[in-house]
Chains A and B, each alone.
Chain A
Amino acid sequence: QSALTQPRSVSGSPGQSVTISCTGTSSDVGGYNYVSWYQQHPGKAPKLMIHDVSKRPSGVPDRFSGSKSGNTASLTVSGLQAEDEADYYCCSYAGSYTWVFGGGTKLTVL
């Protein structure tokens, strides 16, 4: 069970949009609409940002959106703000009560 593939880093200027990809296989990302995204600031616990591919929990700004096409899921952050600078992890159900995380992406706000 290999980790999902994410870019190591992405960056953007305040106000711009960035997209983080998360590539898996037909056994995980492609097989289920159970992709979630987590934001982690240094020294903090992860925070749920998106679940079920594109649903935002209460309290998460609508600048954060999720989508999926085939075996690749994506997280888009629009109108970048300084506080969005963090590590982002995707996660997918992989069947048989197992889940797999992506390797993580460091988002830098320039």
Chain B
Amino acid sequence: EVQLVQSGAEVKKPGESLKISCKGSGYSFTSYWIGWVRQMPGKGLEWMGIIYPGDSDTRYSPSFQGQVTISADKSISTAYLQWGSLKASDTAMYYCARLSGSGGNFLDYWGQGTLVTVSS
């Protein structure tokens, strides 16, 4: 069974750093891109970027380039999303999902989400 399990909710202060994780199981983790999606409170889904764990090739949405860092450790089948200095506007639910299809063009399995709250 394909599963993506994300790390738990986080409460941070502005300016702090954070790294959240997404662990894949039940499939070849190195053979599929993993995407990250943001959902701000009461708002829609936003595409942040993707990573190919096989070689760590990473692509960012222009809106998120330079704002976050996506990485992966294929030895433990885990992808990461990190911030160097959080802002209140980073408060959101963050989802990881597997990119599937020929060429990889849809998200077929999703993690449960990680809620990040940034507040002083």
A residues with a Cβ closer than 8 A to B are 1, 3, 32, 34, 36, 38, 40, 45-48, 51-52, 57, 89, 91, 93, 96-104
Contact = CB atoms under 8 A, between A and B. Distances in A.
For chain B, give the interface size range.
20 to 34
B106 A45 contact: no
B61 A36 contact: no
Describe B's contact surface by its main secondary structure: strand
A93 B95 contact: no
B105 A45 contact: no
A45 B112 contact: yes
B88 interface: no
Contacts of B50: 97
Interface of B: 35, 37, 44-47, 50, 59, 61-63, 95, 97, 100-101, 103, 105-108, 110-113
Given A1-B63, A48-B106, A51-B105, A101 B44 contact: yes
11 contacts: A1-B63, A45-B112, A46-B45, A51-B101, A52-B101, A91-B107, A99-B35, A101-B37, A101-B45, A103-B44, A104-B44
B62 A1 contact: yes
